[in-house]
A and B are shown apart, each in its own frame.
Chain A
């Protein structure tokens, strides 16, 4: 699994850059920059400019925890592939076995032999001889062999060029010989033509002039015919020589480009020791002083935009040296910070050093026990990033607390700011959702709930509020259904008894509000009548109590409570009630005399009877229509 992932991780653009190095040959179309880590990528070409303090190295900005490389910014702390590799590295044992030491020694020896101040043909050969030996180690991954092959190919190319040079020298000699032969041939021909002309002058002068003109033409033709083969051959030789010259230059350029491509590839793979080895061989193989890198496209931008200068082999050499030094310093800083128990800073310094110098000895030989001290922090930090990534702020808050215990220097300001901000905004949306629910604004309710969910999907209050709101909605709907049913049944008593529920339910339903208002007004009157009747009953005035209840009953005959009270009072004022009913019955039957007698009897039984008074007045007007 590592192998496919490596090219992606190793500065992500290695293959793309490599494929665009061969300048003379038609380059394949530029590959797009890798997108598999695009979630952490933020194109920032303008920002990655000449001011890069790392001088072309992947530049880490501690403020944003991003690394700038090739005009793009990457958050190294929030990159899943990097996290996985870094955790794997922290768990891996240190490479301090015998063969690791032997390999490091060989590489050091090669570099020492290729030191510019020490280098000689002998040291060059010794270094070349060590390359196959170094490539036998697993850690080398055969890169020294690749360098060795490239150096050998360059030498072969150089030998070919020498052969072409020899061929050109031979062609030059051939050209010179042809030119000499041509001159000699011309001299001989001219001499012969001069003798012929003298012989013809001794004759007739007129005739001689005509003959001379003719002879001149013939001589010119002979002259041309005699030098033509020489000219043709010289032209052929020159053409062959030019072709050889072009081949020679092309071969030299091809060899350089191939070598440079290897160096760039090694650099992009962060094999900085191998970059140093390759650049130093390059300088001796191609000793013409032309070390300009022939790259184009994104590979050219990579160097142009980071150094601001045309890329050269020397640039790569110095950048590789700088990287090796930077990694060594990072590892030292890690050790120092771990001694101070400043785990967060230590972990970050180690992560930075690991990112740049994953294959360098200071990283590979770091003891596992020291690395594991940072592992716990790194794991929790990664979990924190994941929690923040999925907006699980409750877990993130818990992890922040744990990280504070783990690392004395852990700065909780950023995660806590993110957590608190998200919580506050989610709470605000929930509050708005509650208000919308209360006011019956379903559209706003849905929008606010959605917003709150997006901000903090696992907010425990979210489930509670949603449940409450939906329950409330159900209750409200149920109340409205009940109200409609009770209204259709004219069961105002039940509505009155549950008035709090119905008032809340119809708060935003004007039609039902009006219906409920009328019902409650009626029920208030009924309740008033009932209370009055009960008060009168308490005084022992049953007829008066009945009359009060009857008065309300005639207006609201469906009210059960009033009906019940009226029935009870009817038994208590039976004679009076019977008199009134008899009176009304007879009145209805068209017997005003008997009816009036009953009303009079009722009034006699209960002198304050309003019904009796009204009945008497009504019948009196009937009997005496014009009574005054």
Chain B
């Protein structure tokens, strides 16, 4: 009986300590996550709006993260045109990687974070990208 009473009296402390630790861990993770995205200041790309009417997004800069689906074409002057599956929506969007970013190896299946700009013709043009 005495042993049982002692153990039940220790549980609230243990539970409280665990919650605090988890809270600290989550807060740390969130903080790390938010502070680790270099384009976190940019707004995320609204893929749905883009699919409906890209003209409405022209001139804006967005960030997006996704997986390389395919390389659609390459031009020495214009750069590379790739298709990216956006993680947030699962939609596939085309994206132009200009020659300035030609030093980045891009392959199908790789995940990248992009800072993108919507050009005149509604083409998504990456201005920065980092591997995710």
Contacts and interface: CB of A to CB of B under 8 A. Distances in A.
Interface string B77-88: 110010100000
A594 B52 contact: yes
B76 A593 contact: no
Interface in A578-622: 582, 586, 590-594, 596-598, 600-601, 604, 616, 619-621
B72 A620 contact: yes
A624 B81 contact: yes
Contacts of B78: 623-627
B121 A590 contact: yes
A582 B75 CA distance: 27
A415 to B, nearest CB: 98
A31 to B, nearest CB: 119
Contacts of B121: 590-593, 623
Given A624-B74, A624-B75, A597 B51 contact: yes
Contact-residue bracket for chain A: 20 to 34
Interface string B46-65: 00001111110000000000
Contacts of A592: 121-123
Contacts of A620: 72-73, 81
10 contacts: A591-B53, A592-B122, A593-B94, A597-B50, A597-B51, A597-B92, A623-B94, A623-B123, A626-B78, A628-B76
Given A593-B54, A594-B51, A594-B52, A601 B75 contact: no
B53 A594 contact: yes
A598 B51 contact: yes
Interface in A54-75: none
Contacts of B74: 624, 627-628
Contact of B94 (A590, A600, A621, A627): A600
Interface of A: 582, 586, 590-594, 596-598, 600-601, 604, 616, 619-621, 623-628
A627 B80 CA distance: 9
A623 B81 contact: yes
Given A600-B93, A626-B77, 17 more contacts: A591-B54, A593-B94, A593-B118, A593-B124, A594-B53, A594-B122, A600-B83, A601-B91, A601-B92, A604-B92, A620-B72, A620-B73, A623-B121, A624-B75, A624-B81, A625-B78, A626-B76
For the complex of A and B, the 4 pairs showing the least CB-CB separation, nearest first, are A593-B122, A627-B73, A594-B54, A624-B75
Nearest to A604: B92
Contact-residue bracket for chain B: 20 to 34
Contacts of A591: 53-55, 121-122
Contacts, number: 77
Interface of B: 50-55, 69, 72-78, 81, 83, 91-94, 96, 118-119, 121-124
A591 B52 CA distance: 10
Contacts of B72: 616, 620
Given A593-B94, A597-B50, A620-B81, A628 B75 contact: yes
A600 B71 CA distance: 12
Nearest to A628: B74
A597 B92 CA distance: 6
A615 to B, nearest CB: 11
Contacts of B122: 591-594
Nearest to A597: B93
Most chain A beta-carbon contacts within 10 A, residue among B69, B73, B76, B118: B73
Contacts of B91: 597, 601
A616 to B, nearest CB: 7
A582 B53 CA distance: 11
Contacts of A619: 94
Nearest to B83: A600
B75 A626 contact: yes
Contacts of B54: 586, 591, 593-594, 597
B94 to A, nearest CB: 4
Contacts of A600: 69, 83, 92-94
Given A592-B123, A594-B122, A628-B75, A623 B96 contact: yes
A598 B92 CA distance: 8
Contacts of B81: 620, 623-624, 627
Contacts of A586: 54
B50 A594 contact: yes
